[in-house]
Amino acid sequence: MEREIALIQVQYDKAGRSCPVIACDVCGTVLKAGKGIYVYPSTGAEDTVPVHLLCKGDCDRAFQGKYGETRFGELPALLGFLAHNSGTTLKSIKENIITAESL
């Protein structure tokens, strides 16, 4: 089966345990804090726009030009916004996750 690049992927370990991770839209690399950014078009209007996750550097540069003006942020900020806007808390997140590092 051809490997698909998707924003959210599930990573399996040798024991068959699974853990969701986020991946670069361009190359599919699993993104870690400090190595990835989120980018979205700046419309300046009331709108909902797609968000792209990218490796800093080559993938970020390859992506430039897809949209006119863009905004971006660091990965931890995106995760914080997603947690907050989904109505959860950091305490709840800590209690319910198995980290990718434990795979």
37 binds Zn ion (CB under 5 A): no
Q: Looking at beta carbons only, is 33 or 98 nearer to Zn ion?
A: 33
Residue closer to Zn ion by CB (options 19, 60) is 60
Smallest separation (angstroms) from Zn ion to the CB of 86 = 25
Q: What are the residues whose beta carbons fall under 8 Å from the beta carbon of 9, sequence distance 6 or more?
A: 20, 21, 22, 23, 28, 30
Q: Is 77 in the site for Zn ion (CB under 5 A)?
A: no
Whose tokens are 């916004």? That residue is 81
Contact 25, 5 (CB under 8 A): yes
> CA 10: distance to chain centroid?
13
Stretch that binds Zn ion, among 5-13, 25-33, 65-73, 85-93 (CB under 5 A): 25-33
Residues in contact with Zn ion by the rule CB under 5 A: 24, 26-27, 29, 55, 59
